[in-house]
Amino acid sequence: MRVHVLTLFPEMIENALNTSITGRAIEKGLLEIDAINIRDYSHDKHFKVDDYTYGGGAGLLMKAEPVCEAYDALTEKLGKKPRVVFMTPVGETFSQKKAEELAKEEDLTILCGHYEGIDERALDEIVTDRISIGDYVLTGGELASLVVIDAVSRLVPGVLHNDISADTESFNNGLLEYPQFTRPESFRGRKVPEVLLSGDHKKVDDWRFQQSLIRTARFRPDLYIKFSDDNEAIKEYYNKHKELEEEISRILKSEV
C-alpha cells in the first residue's frame, strides 16, 4: 500500500512511521510512505503557503494553489487520482470500519492542514473523505493522519506478525478485547486467572468471551447495547449463564 501525505511537516510523518511495526512494514516493502511537502509548491519567493482569511478572523489559512498543485503533481506521477482523505475535526469520526475500508486502497492520499485550516475551494477540488479522530482540536492534521495510517497499515496483509490478531481483537465483533497476561504467573500478589493455565481451550474461549462482554458493558455501554440489541445468540447464551446476565445488568445499572 502506498500512502501519500500532503503536509507542511513531512519529517513529522516520516520520523513517526519509520519506527516499530510500520517501520518494519516499510523496510519489507509492504508499506510505502510518500510525504510530500506542500511548501515545495508555493508560488511565493519566500515559500509562503498561508494568507489572511477573507471576512476577517484570527489566524492564517493555507492557500488553495500549493495544495492543489501538490496533488496535481502526484496524480500526474501516478497516472490516476487516488482517494484523498482530509484530516479535520469537521469530518466523520474515524473507526475500525473506516480503517478496513481504507486498507483496501492501493494508493491513498492524506491531506493535513495547519494554522486555521485550508481554503475551502482546495478541499472542494480534491477531497473525497473528511475524517476526524475525535471531538477535540489539534494544532494540525499530522498527528491525526498518523493515527489513521497506523490503524490502516496494520490491516495490510503481512504487516502484523500474526494476521489473525487483527481480527480477534477489540471491535472485530463489536466487543472490546478480553484481558491478557504473560509470565510470571504471580506478579505483586496478583495471579493469572486459573482458567488460562488449564490448557482447556474451550473453557479459555468461553472465559474470554465473558470477559469481553463484561468489559464492554463497563467501559463502553453504548457498544454493548449495540451488540446485544436484537441478538438472539446472546439471549440464548444468557439463558445458560444467568449469573453472567445478572452481573452485566448490574454493571449497566452502575451498581458495581
Question: In this complex, which beta carbon is closest to ligand ADE, that of residue 123 or of residue 213?
Answer: 123
Binding flag, residue 136, ligand ADE (CB under 6 A): yes
Q: Residue 220 CB, nearest distance to ligand ADE (Å)?
A: 20
* DSSP one-letter string for 188-251: TTEEPPGGGGS--HHHHHHHHHHHHHHHHHHH-HHHHHHHHTT-HHHHHHHHH-HHHHHHHHHH
Which residue in the set 15, 47, 104, 134 belongs to the binding site for ligand ADE (CB under 6 A)?
A: 134
**Options 15-23, 56-64, 127-135, 168-176: segment touching ligand ADE (CB under 6 A):** 127-135
Binding flag, residue 132, ligand ADE (CB under 6 A): yes
Name residue, grid cell 478480553: 178
Binding flag, residue 156, ligand ADE (CB under 6 A): no
Is the separation of the CB atoms in 34 and 18 below 8 Å?
no
Binding flag, residue 141, ligand ADE (CB under 6 A): yes
Binding flag, residue 133, ligand ADE (CB under 6 A): yes
Binding flag, residue 87, ligand ADE (CB under 6 A): yes
**Options 8-16, 121-129, 130-138, 150-158: segment touching ligand ADE (CB under 6 A):** 130-138
Binding flag, residue 70, ligand ADE (CB under 6 A): no
Name residue, grid cell 492557500: 63
* DSSP one-letter string for 212-228: HHHHHHHH-HHHHHHHH
Which residue in the set 30, 78, 138, 244 belongs to the binding site for ligand ADE (CB under 6 A)?
A: 138
Q: Residue 200 CB, nearest distance to ligand ADE (Å)?
A: 44
Residue number of the CB closest to ligand ADE reads 144
114: exposed, middle or buried (C-beta count within 10 Å: 0-12, 13-18, 19+)?
A: buried
Q: What distance in Å separates the CA atoms of residue 232 and residue 26, rounded to the nearest whole number?
A: 44
**Options 13-21, 46-54, 129-137, 183-191: segment touching ligand ADE (CB under 6 A):** 129-137
Q: What distance in Å separates the CA atoms of residue 163 and residue 188, rounded to the nearest whole number?
A: 33
Q: Residue 140 CB, nearest distance to ligand ADE (Å)?
A: 6
Residues whose CB falls within 8 Å of the CB of residue 67, separated by 6 or more in sequence, listed in order:
6, 38, 41, 111, 118, 119, 122, 126
Is the separation of the CB atoms in 85 and 111 below 8 Å?
yes
Q: Which residues bind ligand ADE (CB under 6 A)?
A: 87-89, 132-134, 136-138, 141, 144
